[in-house]
Amino acid sequence: MGIRVVSVIAVTTSLLLTGAAIAQPRSGQLPPAGGGAQRGQPALPPPQQRQTQPPQQQQQQITPKPYKPVALSAPEPIKDPAFEALRKQIGALAERKDRRALAAMIAPNFFWMGENGDQADKRKSGIDNLAKAVGLDGKDAPGWEMLASAASDPTGMPFPDRKDTICAPADPVFKAEEFEALTKATNTSDGDWGFPTQPGLEVHSSAQPNSPVVEKLGMHFVLVLPEDAPGNQQSPMLRIVAPSGKTGFVPVEAINPLGSDQLCYTKDASGWKISGFIGGGGQQQ
């Protein structure tokens, strides 16, 4: 799966075509290495190992019907002023597309975990590997917007394969066995599901934000239905199925996907640095 990131419109298009199963950085965030399971609970596999169905297959199999909600809670932010300062720096240099300044913020031995393990070319610099992973080269390179999006996310989760490394954004906290049971009961994959950014999200009867509200969502997973195209280009909406079985529309930015790509950070004696990336990459050949 690739990065689930870039702009709201790009994220909207991917979400509408494949449900919540995009591996591109989500709007306002980047992706994860585990399943966000509670401590002591089995975690979902990393995003590059998760299975998703082709859009056509999803459209044939997903039938709106009631389902048992799986509760979740939002991930906690990293409470470290130095980490917050790094994120602000990344956001600022991403706005001006300052590659040289970004290079100085990358740790040695930068890694890029994709479907086939570490894809980083150890003969090249960290900035060259990051540029290829997220797409920083060329006109209108999407990677700069992804980095800005990543920098806006204060959460992080440990990356078990690397000491003193966290990856962001973090997944929500939930019970993995309950989520697994949900996907089996609904004949869906984990990529078909998203979760609200806040409780009380209003579900509208049509893809117009001023249409009647048919339901309000709690903090639980939500089934996202594939669509051919956004119904409202000015305020893009996603069609979802509530636990009641009712279908409706919510703003695309109000639903986060599970298991998007992640930017990783490591803290050493010199402070925080960008140390890796988990995902499919923005400029693969």
- Domains annotated on the chain, with CATH: 52-76+173-257 (2.30.30.40)
pLDDT above 90 covers a percentage of the chain that reads 52
Q: Tens digits of per-residue pLDDT, 222-274?
A: 999 986 444 555 678 999 999 999 999 999 888 888 777 899 999 988 899 99
What pLDDT is recorded for position 256?
84
Amino acid at 166: I
Tokens for 88, please give them.
Answer: 């602000």
Q: Which of 5, 238, 23 is nearest to 136 (CA)?
A: 5
Using CA atoms, how far apart are residues 203 and 13, in angstroms rounded to an integer?
Answer: 19
Q: Mean pLDDT check: name the lowest of 60-74, 169-183, 189-203.
A: 60-74
DSSP string across 232-256: -SSS-EEEEE-TTS-EEEEEGGGEE
What pLDDT is recorded for position 87?
95
What pLDDT is recorded for position 153?
86
Q: Which residue has the tokens 């989760």?
A: 157
| C-alpha to C-alpha distances, 275 to 73, 150, 159, nearest whole angstrom | 27, 14, 11
**How many C-beta atoms lie closer than 10 Å to residue 138's C-beta?**
10
What pLDDT is recorded for position 76?
86
Using CA atoms, how far apart are residues 204 and 201, in angstroms rounded to an integer?
Answer: 10
Which residues sit opposite 251 in a β-bridge? 237
| Res. 205: pLDDT tops 80 | yes
What pLDDT is recorded for position 253?
83
Q: Which of 218, 209, 204 is nearest to 247 (CA)?
A: 204
What pLDDT is recorded for position 62?
78
| C-alpha to C-alpha distances, 263 to 28, 31, 77, 164, nearest whole angstrom | 13, 7, 15, 14
Using CA atoms, how far apart are residues 186 and 220, in angstroms rounded to an integer?
Answer: 15
User: Does residue 60 or residue 156 have the better pLDDT?
Assistant: 156
Helix, strand, coil percentages, rounded to 5, for the chain = 25, 25, 50
| Res. 96: pLDDT tops 90 | yes
pLDDT-based confidence at residue 281 (cuts at 50, 70, 90): low
What is the widest separation between alpha-carbon atoms in the chain?
Answer: 57
pLDDT-based confidence at residue 56 (cuts at 50, 70, 90): very low
pTM: 0.67
| Axis crossing angle, helix 143-151 with helix 81-96, rounded to the nearest 10 | 150
pLDDT-based confidence at residue 138 (cuts at 50, 70, 90): confident
| C-alpha to C-alpha distances, 161 to 93, 164, 172, 264, 278, nearest whole angstrom | 29, 10, 20, 12, 12
| Res. 156: pLDDT tops 80 | yes
Using an 8 Å Cβ cutoff, are 36 and 72 in contact?
Answer: yes
Using CA atoms, how far apart are residues 52 and 140, in angstroms rounded to an integer?
Answer: 29
User: Does residue 238 or residue 197 have the better pLDDT?
Assistant: 238
| C-alpha to C-alpha distances, 235 to 125, 151, 173, 207, 256, nearest whole angstrom | 40, 24, 29, 8, 16
Amino acid at 105: M
Q: Which residue has the tokens 């066995």?
A: 177
pLDDT-based confidence at residue 139 (cuts at 50, 70, 90): confident
| Res. 177: pLDDT tops 90 | yes
Strand 262-268 to 165-168 pairing: antiparallel
Considering just the CA atoms, what is the radius of gyration of the chain in Å? 18
pLDDT-based confidence at residue 161 (cuts at 50, 70, 90): confident
pLDDT above 70 covers a percentage of the chain that reads 74
How does the average pLDDT of the chain come out, rounded? Answer: 78
Amino acid at 238: L
What pLDDT is recorded for position 33?
32
Q: Mean pLDDT check: name the lowest of 54-63, 70-79, 192-201.
A: 54-63
